[in-house]
Amino acid sequence: KGIEMSTVIDLKNLLPVEIWFCENPRTADTKFEADILNLVTPNTLLLLDRGFYHFNFWLQLIAKNVNFITRLKKGAAIHVEQVFTDSFSLRDRMIRLGSGTKKTPFVTLRLVEVRSAKTWHSYLTSVLDPTVLPPYVVADLYRRRWRIEDAFNTVKRLLGLSYLWTGSINGVQLQIWGTWLFYSVLVDLGDAVADELSLPFDSISLEMIYRGLYHFYVAHQKGNATDPIKYFAAPE
């Protein structure tokens, strides 16, 4: 049975902040905009998927003092209002998007474009001051959004959320909540192992931690291990 699920993940710790569920698999991302607006607090910085490319939504975020970074859609008509940087590998400009209609009102944003070889990568942000959010930080933060995609990949591929065990809505919800709860425990365990080894969290494989739980269980049953953190951090 198809469903639509939207998850807000903290980029710093990769833990889910909120999970929303909809029975209609054809639900557009924009249907979750009200949920996001109710969730976010002032001074939050959101990394938005292009499914949330909606001018009215952006204006509502800005009105709440919530900023965001997203990608520019191809073919978008822009009006340049101010140029901050224009060099061989970097363009940073304040622009205006929209047509002034109710559906596509005017919105003022920064367009940051970073060149890689022959390709330009374009990012939009509502942070208009380059001294507050420098252009290369904008690009780096959005690239780090793939850490969020890694979280979804772990949950779906490794923990089995790509397949539903039942057709009942209650069962589907139980599977979703249970899987994300286990994912959170797995992240906490991986973070603790990283601290034990004095390594950055990114260098720890959650998949190896997950697959190693069976071996820890066997060692624990034999009386050879009591602490999973010490077990995973041991040189052997």
- Tens of pLDDT along the chain (236 residues) come to 456 778 888 888 778 888 887 776 666 667 889 999 999 999 999 999 888 899 999 999 999 999 999 999 888 889 999 999 999 999 999 999 999 898 889 999 999 999 988 899 999 999 999 999 999 999 999 888 777 777 778 888 888 888 878 778 788 888 888 888 998 899 999 999 999 999 998 888 999 999 999 999 999 999 999 999 999 999 88
pLDDT at site 9: 84
pLDDT at site 230: 94
DSSP 157-181: IIS-TTS-S-SSHHHHHHHHHHHHH
Model confidence, pTM: 0.72
b/e per residue 81-111 (b: at least 16 CB within 10 A): eeebeeeeebbbbbbebbeeeeeeeebbbbb
| Beta carbons within 8 Å of 170's beta carbon, 6+ residues apart | none
User: What's the Cα-to-Cα distance from 209 to each of 58, 186, 188, rounded to whole Å?
Assistant: 39, 8, 11
- Give dist(CA 128, CA 197) in Å, integer: 40
- Give dist(CA 193, CA 229) in Å, integer: 5
pLDDT at site 28: 67
What are the beta bridge partners of residue 22?
4
